[in-house]
Chain A
């Protein structure tokens, strides 16, 4: 059997697991609630600006911030969802014995891992893209705001999900299913906070504090990609409106777009961590 066929079979199986285990259903329910709430919120904003208590610039700023806030909610759901899917799917199967009969087939462990990764990437990315797009449409319909670079921003959100689930897969080759999910989500939260701290350092002109954010963004690129995504969702005038460089300290606006170098680093990071996961899984005694 060719490796490509094994990878696709396992990827399809992973997607099937996500839908049969009601993960998909739970995500859809959460998303619908979040979108409905935000639709109500945005319609209130529209009503306020209709009363002319908000200038058009203020309305765009509010829409940008609110959109980023809701998108953060989605990225959090995607992060938690995939991290808790990625953990059990590998170490859980090793622990329960499901992996024994599968890996006794003429397949490579790397193909199994790649298949799982691919299935999870499709699932996580599919979720953020569909939910994110639905959210953009809601904003467009309620306050007539359309983000400047929606495609790039959604792709970056998908990238953020991919980074986190790759990390969760690596962890799940080494530690228990529960621990891998907890550690991955913990690191995700820590990096986000470090990013905010770094932003505050930047606006205060304190280099040491600013470096916290920079370093954490290199170690785990989730926060960096998230900031890039926010930059694609927000109105360019929003930053000026908010107060220029000082907006760095605000967690739901992003001062600068991503550099190509950082994107390359994020790709390299995924390849590196994925490679580590393969090595660790290949060495494992089942």
Chain B
């Protein structure tokens, strides 16, 4: 009997050590999210993960389902199917959102309250202890330090968005969800948001960033998830998504054999004398070999420019190939 109890205690001990040794649960984990509004399937099947301290960008065309996915993560929209975990807790329990900050795409705050009062309200609702001095610091961080006592009703759209950012940051979040955080901001404000996101990343706060500004995403995000028509069209680290390189060549006197040599390297696009070849990521010797072969095949090489494709080009490529694939299947099914 005693031996049995001791054995159970030891097992419990081992189990708790095992659990304590596990890495913390991801900041966001969702699987198989689906949502239909009437006849329109807004989200068809989305699974994604945001690790602790990771900055993940959500990209995609209008109507891809980005905001719907974010709202389902936060319990604002009920998914038809799928599971969501926030910071290791099932999202169905409101307590899972205790350490989550959110700036909605549609940002509006009680116009009859002052900026300070809006923050105080959100601090109370979050159940966190945040001193008035810390609240003032957050307002100063988003550039509203001298408007703290003013009614929100008199704020411009840009100032309301800055206030929304403060609301998202005020309750010491471990996950911050920003839905189009710079839609109403001037270039200076956009730079501020970039700095804030980089600062969050440095402090180990996870960020899920939905933005149309690809440059913004490219600069701050560790990983990108591209949504198209309610599905994940592509996802990965920037290096994975942008690993593909390009080579631009200005050539004259290109024989059929030289053209074949180009095509053998990768997909080729031609614009006058300029040929653009996509290269595989890991071939360092590809460029000198290609140039030597082209010269040997009689082509005159005027210029060779290595280029890395931008996230924007990659995004457009993914979305275009997806829409082509769709029109192909529609054509064949007819």
Q: Interface of A with B (CB < 8 Å)?
A: 1, 5-6, 9, 13, 16-17, 20-21, 96-98, 100-108, 283, 285-286
Contacts and interface: CB of A to CB of B under 8 A. Distances in A.
Nearest to A6: B125
Contacts of A21: 112
A1 B125 contact: yes
Interface stretch (B23-31, B98-106, B206-214, B284-292): B98-106
B102 A101 contact: yes
Given A9-B121, A13-B121, A286-B71, A104 B110 contact: no
A6 B10 CA distance: 42
B95 interface: yes
B107 interface: yes
A97 B107 contact: yes
Nearest to B68: A285
Contact of A104 (B74, B109, B124): B74
Contacts of A9: 121, 124-125
A106 B106 contact: no
12 contacts: A1-B124, A1-B125, A9-B125, A97-B106, A100-B106, A101-B107, A102-B121, A102-B122, A104-B76, A104-B102, A106-B98, A107-B94
B118 to A, nearest CB: 9
B316 interface: no
Nearest to B121: A13
Contacts of B94: 105-108
Contacts of A283: 78
Contacts of B135: none
B108 interface: yes
B185 interface: no
A21 B110 CA distance: 11
A192 B121 CA distance: 40
B97 interface: yes
A286 B78 CA distance: 9
Interface string B61-82: 0000000000100111110000
CB-CB nearest 6 A-B residue pairs: A1-B127, A97-B106, A20-B112, A105-B125, A104-B102, A100-B104
Contact of B97 (A6, A17, A98, A104): A104
B48 interface: no
A97 B108 contact: yes
Q: Which of B37, B78, B97, B110 gathers most chain A CB within 10 Å?
A: B110
B167 A101 contact: yes
A1 B108 contact: no
A107 B108 contact: no
Contacts of B127: 1, 5, 106
Contacts of A107: 94, 125
Given A9-B125, A96-B106, A104-B75, 18 more contacts: A1-B126, A1-B127, A96-B108, A97-B104, A98-B110, A100-B76, A100-B102, A101-B104, A101-B164, A102-B125, A103-B76, A105-B97, A105-B126, A106-B97, A108-B94, A283-B78, A285-B77, A286-B77
A105 B177 CA distance: 12
A220 to B, nearest CB: 31
Interface in B111-130: 112-113, 121-122, 124-127
Nearest to A286: B76
B297 interface: no
A16 B120 CA distance: 14
Contacts of B110: 13, 17, 98
A13 B124 CA distance: 12
A280 B312 CA distance: 42
B96 interface: yes
Contacts of A1: 98, 124-127
B236 to A, nearest CB: 28
Nearest to B97: A106
A9 B122 CA distance: 10
A104 B100 contact: yes
B123 to A, nearest CB: 10
Nearest to B125: A105
A1 B127 CA distance: 5
Contacts of A104: 74-76, 97, 100, 102, 104
Contacts of B96: 106
B120 to A, nearest CB: 10
A105 B76 contact: no
Nearest to B126: A105
A286 B70 CA distance: 12
A157 to B, nearest CB: 28
A60 B28 CA distance: 72
A60 B75 CA distance: 60
Q: Which of B94, B121, B125 gathers most chain A CB within 10 Å?
A: B125
A106 B107 CA distance: 18
Nearest to B107: A97
Given A285-B78, A286-B71, A286-B77, A101 B112 contact: no
Nearest to A10: B125
